[in-house]
Structures are given as C-alpha cells and as structure tokens.
Amino acid sequence: MSVSQPSRPRLPYELRLTLLVLAAGLPAVVAAIYLLWYFDLAGRVRWTVAIPVVGIWIGCALALRERVVRPL
C-alpha cells in the first residue's frame, strides 16, 4: 500500500510569472550595479544611474505581468 505525501501548495500563476521575470533580469541588474561601483565614479553618479536601473527593471517586470495575466 502506497502512502502519498501531502503535496505542497503551488504558488499562484501571477506570482510565479513575476518571480520568473525578476529572476531573468537579475543578472543584468547585478552586473550594471557592480560595474557602477567597480569604476571610480562619484557617489552621486552611482546613485543617479543605479536607482533608474532598478526602477526600470521592476517596472518592466510589473508591466509584463500585467500584459500576460490580465488578458487571461
């Protein structure tokens, strides 16, 4: 007699999609932030570039989520 293990609850589709999109862009964002801090740039320049990079990354992820999830 086989005893089945209780299955883990699956993440909702919307959350899985959002996490996948964020994970896809993460390497590029990490590389951009690393390069900003690697080169000898003023702190103001670093933050002026870093904040829009992260903001655009998150904004694009949320926009893609809306485009994919809402038509369903």
Residue 65 Cα distances to 4, 31, 32, angstroms: 35, 24, 23
At 8-55, the pLDDT tens digits run 788 888 899 999 999 999 999 999 999 999 999 999 999 999 999 999
At 72 the pLDDT is 61
Nearest to 52 by CA among 33, 66, 35, 38: 33
Against a cut of 0.85, is the pTM above it? no
